[in-house]
Amino acid sequence: ILNVEQSPQSLHVQEGDSTNFTCSFPSSNFYALHWYRWETAKSPEALFVMTLNGDEKKKGRISATLNTKEGYSYLYIKGSQPEDSATYLCAFGAGDYKLSFGAGTTVTVRA
Amino acid sequence: DAGVTQSPTHLIKTRGQQVTLRCSPKSGHDTVSWYQQALGQGPQFIFQYYEEEERQRGNFPDRFSGHQFPNYSSELNVNALLLGDSALYLCASSLVDSNQPQHFGDGTRLSIL
């Protein structure tokens, strides 16, 4: 069983503030790291798939970085808005067609 | 362009019964994965189907089985239901490469009484 950990479990952010959180994964047998956003009453939505050490991806105000050698990825939200409230999941792929998900970081943006 | 659809939305069963959940992948996708999400946890990989074969399996007992049809739709079957099988079951479709993002359905909420 691959250990994928996300921290913190939850966080509250004031509207307009920026925030970031972490996904830790095994540093061996790395193939891909996925990020998904899961809003209440909706299905998980893919944000990024990252494959190379040092990769940086950006989608609007959300960006992510990847360090495969030390086994972590950061997700950043710049200028948080209420619509950013969601659970953010990361998933580690070792190239064996399985994705191992973390338990998620739940972000609540307060107006 | 229809996304991933799952049916039913909710299901209530009793211990020992059997259940079948269904999934239609996003148009153009050939790979279907199933996940179980228990309260407070991330989705746990059950198995993945490609070309009508189970390509990979997670740490789930043989009570969990599946099928993929020629039109790429898929079923998840669970026999001899246990209370611990109560969870949200998610289906995700993708293209065959593991580097491709997965597209999820809304899930089936299964409750075991």
Nearest CA in chain B to A43: B106
pLDDT < 70: residue spans in chain A = 1-2
For residue A1, list chain B residues with Cβ-Cβ distance below 8 A.
59
Q: Which of A31, A49, A103 sits opposite B42 (nearest CB)?
A: A103
The answer to whether the Cβ–Cβ distance between A44 and B58 falls below 8 Å is no
Q: What is the mean pLDDT of residues B69-75?
A: 97
Contact B90, B34 (CB under 8 A): yes
Contacts of B35 in chain A (CB under 8 A): 101
- Beta strands A105-110 and B44-50, pairing class: unpaired
- pLDDT the model gives residue B1: 60
* Residue A1: per-residue pLDDT: 59
| pLDDT band at residue B97 using 50, 70 and 90 as cut-offs | confident
pLDDT one-digit tens code per residue, B15-60: 999 999 999 999 999 999 999 999 889 999 999 999 999 999 999 9
Tell me whether residues A98 and B56 touch, CB distance under 8 A: yes
What is the distance between the alpha carbons of residues B93 and A57, in angstroms, rounded to a whole number? Answer: 22
Residue A92: its H or E element: strand A86-93
Q: Which residues contact A23 (CB under 8 A, 6 or more apart)?
A: A4, A5, A6, A33, A35, A72, A73, A74, A75, A90, A102
Contact A44 B104 (CB under 8 A): yes
How sure is the predictor about B99, in pLDDT bands with cuts at 50, 70 and 90? confident
- Residues from chain A that touch B40, judged by Cβ atoms under 8 A, are 103
Which pLDDT value is given to residue B65? Answer: 98
d(C-alpha A98, C-alpha A78), whole Å: 31
User: To the nearest whole angstrom, how far is the Cα of A96 from the nearest Cα of chain B?
Assistant: 7
